[in-house]
Structure 1
Amino acid sequence: MDIAKRYFLEVAYNGTAYHGWQVQKNANSVQEVLNKALSTICRENIETLGCGRTDTGVHARQLFAHFDLTGDAEVMDPRFLLSLNSLLPYDISAKAIVNVHSDAHARFDALSRSYEYHIHFKKDPFKHNLSWLIRDIPDLEMMNKAAEIIKGYTDFSCFSKSNTQTFTNNCRISDAKWVKKDDGMVFYISADRFLRNMVRAIVGTLMRVGKGEIVPHDIRAIIESKDRSNAGESVPACGLYLTEITYPYLRNSQSLTYNSNHGKS
């Protein structure tokens, strides 16, 4: 009986043409396209499991998925990624692959996840579906004051999509800040985990602060209410990017350096 080997695959994608990461009925997803390409090149049925899920139209500069391989496909050969990318469409890229311990898990072993939300103020054809175009410039200083308040909480029920099957709505946010750019601004946020629609709901709420509809201190009442209807609207998906996932056994995630002494604690 063949012993399966587990691999972590790092991918990036433009999510405009997809109904999110996760396989679903009657809708095109990134995971489905990736599974088909891997199954073709490995000559066996491959089902990936991602570090999380992105919604329709959301992008990823870095997403990890693990899969098991029982056959003899030479996936660690540098030519494997070249072949895999030749099967993938232009908007999905396989960046790196590494052999990991058999119980390594792309979702449950992740220590942190980071997102960016991009906003621009002037019409730009090269940012269409890649950033949110708004007319009025919000108050970045006020939004950062509100973002700092958010970091002091853990229960984010008010920012969660309703009727989700989560055990807890608690998250530990380690970073949340707005940064001005020449042609717009970017919101950076990192946490140990995120709820469905959480980042887009946070950005929508902070935008209310930036527009002067509420003051930073009002964020406390919104979070403590645990009521989604009290928070701001979800902003468009086009500006959201999953940018980084960290693991205890992957050093320097860009090169996927693997610690062969890895053992789950």
Structure 2
Amino acid sequence: MTSPLPKTLVLIGAGKMGGAMLEGWLRIGMDPAGISLVDPKPSDEMVALAAEKGMALNLDPQALAPAEVLVLATKPQMLDTAAPTVQAFVHPQTLVISILAGKTLGDIAARLPNATAIIRAMPNLPASVQRGATGAAAGKGVSAAQKTMADTLLGSIGIVEWLADESLVDCVTAVSGSGPAYVFHLVECLAAAGIAIGLPPETAERLARATIIGAGEMLHQSPLPPATLRQNVTSPGGTTAAALEHLMADNGMAPLVRRAVAAAKRRAEELSG
């Protein structure tokens, strides 16, 4: 049986997200000797990791075998500048996976004319702790085997949702791409509310943080829908029910979150335009 892991992979951009993905690939057993890193300003940690694992760093494309997979993880605004260098790594058989926010399949194809198989993916920050959520859309030239390979690589940092239409990537950006910030702000709000009713600031923050972590782990472990979990911790006439009367009111949390996510989607569309 053919392994879903590529024998050769070039990572363009070894920053936070690129580094998180690299850690995931190594964790699931990809041979580091087959990984090449390209980053004009690699961190000291990345330089040390490359040396420790025997991964090539900033080698001439001519010195490398044709890559099965090339992952674009630079800042989106660097695409035009980096394209000539990146193009040298791309062969007709190379699968290109882009995580560049706002850059469409068409944008990548226009700048990398050698690329015939392109996947656009949108991971999120929890990839750094292997709890990422990635939405991905495959271009027409991607084979079934290449999609399986991409699923394995992206799945090393969390769940992967394949999208039927690339336009849905903007929706993914609004929900899970930006979503961690919404959760962090909820912790801020919950802690501030605790302080307002008399808790010491440090205690309020610890309790708020632990509450979100604990609730998240319950979601992770339980097969029950979120609505059922909510109902299970809500006693009729109790304290939780009193709070939910406000959070679930017509002007409560649901319409606020809808407006926030819609605003994020509009901005994603503007960046993609």
**TM-score in terms of structure 1 length:** 0.26
Counting strand residues as a fraction of each chain, which structure ranks higher?
1
Greater RCO structure (CA 8 Å; 6+ sep): 1
**TM-score in terms of structure 2 length:** 0.25
- Structure showing greater radius of gyration is 2
